[in-house]
A and B are shown apart, each in its own frame.
Chain A
Amino acid sequence: MDVVTTTAVTVDLAARPVRDLNAALHAPDPAPRWRVVNPAGAHNVAVGVDAPVAVQIDGPVGYYCAGMNQRADVLVRGNAGTGLAENIMSGSVRITGSASQSVAASGCGGLVVVDGDTGARCGIALRGADVVVGGSVGHMSAFMAQAGRIVVCGDAGHSLGDSIYEARLYVRGAVASLGTDCVEKPMLGEHLAELAGLLTWAGRDEDPAAFRRYGSARRLYHFDSANHTAY
């Protein structure tokens, strides 16, 4: 996706505050294409957008970029701080660089693609969004993730998938350690097909057969009658 065309509305964050940008994006019937320049690590760029628009941000952004995104396609050409696409509902968020911690935290739907690496807790409490990371993810990624898929083309840090519910994890590289109740699971045909679809959707060309699958052992979130005296 590259939305830089003559029809894009350009907003220069060196000249206007982020609130102006976000207010314009929240207005009824916003222009379909936006280009944001000079973000300089500003927080809250393009948060809360709920419209079928394309937003390209040229440069690094701070915290919570594209948070709560609905329907919009947001592209960041640069790095991102904490909470990229947190609570994303639909649409897509892609960054060409790396992102800090808590990418797509509690995201419910849509696609988040990070071409570089992420910090800790990528996909924490994920509730249905899909996350594809071209590089590696930090520790405690997919913590308590309930639904959705996380694809990691590089390595995963310590305690991957700790206390995970039903999110599905695909990792191509090394996993430093698995968190409590997270286990490796067999890669069946349906999983290869699902992963191939996600990689294609994210515009990546890795071989699905090179990935391993991880998920919940389901020992943690069911009550066990044998332990009833402990409850």
Chain B
Amino acid sequence: MCGIAALQVRDPALRPRLGALLAGMTCRLVDRGPDAAGVAVYDEPGLLPAGWSNVSVLDPGRPDWPDAVAAALGAEVDVRHVGPTAVVRSRTTTAALAGAVRTAVPEATRIGRGRHAVTLKGVGLAADLTEAFGLDALGGTQGIAHTRMATESAVVASGSHPFSVDDDLCLVHNGSFSNHATVRRTLRRHGVEFDSDNDSEVAARFIGHRMAAGDTLTEALERVVGVFDGFYTLVVTTAGTLAVLRDPIACKPAVVAETAAWVAVASEYRALAELPGVETARIFEPEPGRVYTWTS
């Protein structure tokens, strides 16, 4: 069991409330996943100025590491500490920044990257973490969140969701993959590197690998159905797009609610219960094995 919550805002007037709405959704799913939690927020200028890149890491804790990143990058970086996460920001490309972080602080687990999305994650209860992240005060265009009940790998921050392995590509997963080791080996043969032993990271890496090869998000998700064995509801976001996919048996739950002002996906209705206008929303369960996408 895990909890999934995602919200894409269509009405610009709702953008300042994105974080508060997402925090409420996430905290109502805490009993689906009390081990850990994480969130990714898109287009919040307070976290990431427009046009900047970011790489978020689990805070390595040693002093002076931001200076080491700047030296490796050869450009100015700005580090913002958000709960157990540090968000490294620069005006360079994301790839250059990620390379500099890797060179300067190889021991720091990189948990997210992009020019729109900032990923924050940790271990513990959703209420504590969303408060540490200051999520209530954040705005944005869309957000994705997860409460984790660990099954396939340890309760460590690097195993928390979302998994953001390519620019602005974030994935959360409820379920478990039974052939993740096989898929991981295949991807490694193609040069893909991994940050954790987590099965969900394999799906994120697979989707990123396929999209780098030219697949659309929908095509990459359709391949997931044929390649991965196991139970899953996946919510995947890219800049401007929100997607959901359930396994062909639909063991794991998902509820979609849609209004003119927003579209939301959650593991259970109770996560949606406080969204404005939910009482008149179009509510449905995604069909098994079918990819749904919404673009803002």
Binding site for B on A (CB under 8 A): 40-43, 60, 62-63, 79, 81-82, 98, 100-101, 119-120, 138-140
Contact = CB atoms under 8 A, between A and B. Distances in A.
B250 A62 contact: no
B117 to A, nearest CB: 28
Interface string B188-207: 00000000000000000000
B121 to A, nearest CB: 26
Which 3 pairs from chain A and chain B are nearest by CB? Answer: A41-B270, A41-B269, A40-B273
Contacts of A140: 249
Nearest to A121: B250
A81 B253 contact: yes
Contacts, number: 42
B269 A62 contact: yes
B250 A119 contact: yes
A30 to B, nearest CB: 26
Given A40-B270, A63-B268, 9 more contacts: A40-B273, A43-B270, A60-B269, A79-B283, A82-B253, A98-B283, A119-B285, A120-B249, A138-B250
A229 to B, nearest CB: 32
B38 to A, nearest CB: 23
A23 to B, nearest CB: 20
Interface residues of B, number: 16
A211 B274 CA distance: 40
Contacts of A138: 250, 287-288
A100 B253 contact: yes
Interface in B231-280: 249-250, 253, 255, 268-274
Interface residues of chain B: helix, strand, loop or mixed (majority): loop
A63 B287 CA distance: 19
A139 B285 contact: no
Contact of B268 (A81, A98, A139): A81
A75 to B, nearest CB: 18
B276 to A, nearest CB: 14
Contacts of B288: 120, 138-139
A101 B287 CA distance: 11
A220 B224 CA distance: 33
Interface string B283-296: 11101100000000
A60 B273 contact: yes
Contacts of A139: 250, 288
A100 B283 CA distance: 11
Contact of A120 (B250, B270, B272): B250
A79 B269 contact: yes
Nearest to A41: B270
Contacts of A120: 249-250, 288
Query: Of A43, A63, A100, which is in contact with the most chain B CB atoms at under 10 Å from its CB?
Result: A100
Given A79-B283, A81-B268, A41 B250 contact: no
Contacts of B283: 79, 98
Nearest to A97: B283
Contacts of A79: 269, 283
A75 B255 CA distance: 22
Contacts of B270: 40-43, 62
A140 B251 CA distance: 12
B264 to A, nearest CB: 13
A138 B288 CA distance: 9
Contacts of B284: 98
Contacts of A82: 253
Contacts of A100: 253, 255, 285
12 contacts: A40-B270, A41-B268, A42-B270, A43-B270, A62-B270, A79-B269, A79-B283, A82-B253, A98-B285, A101-B250, A101-B253, A119-B250
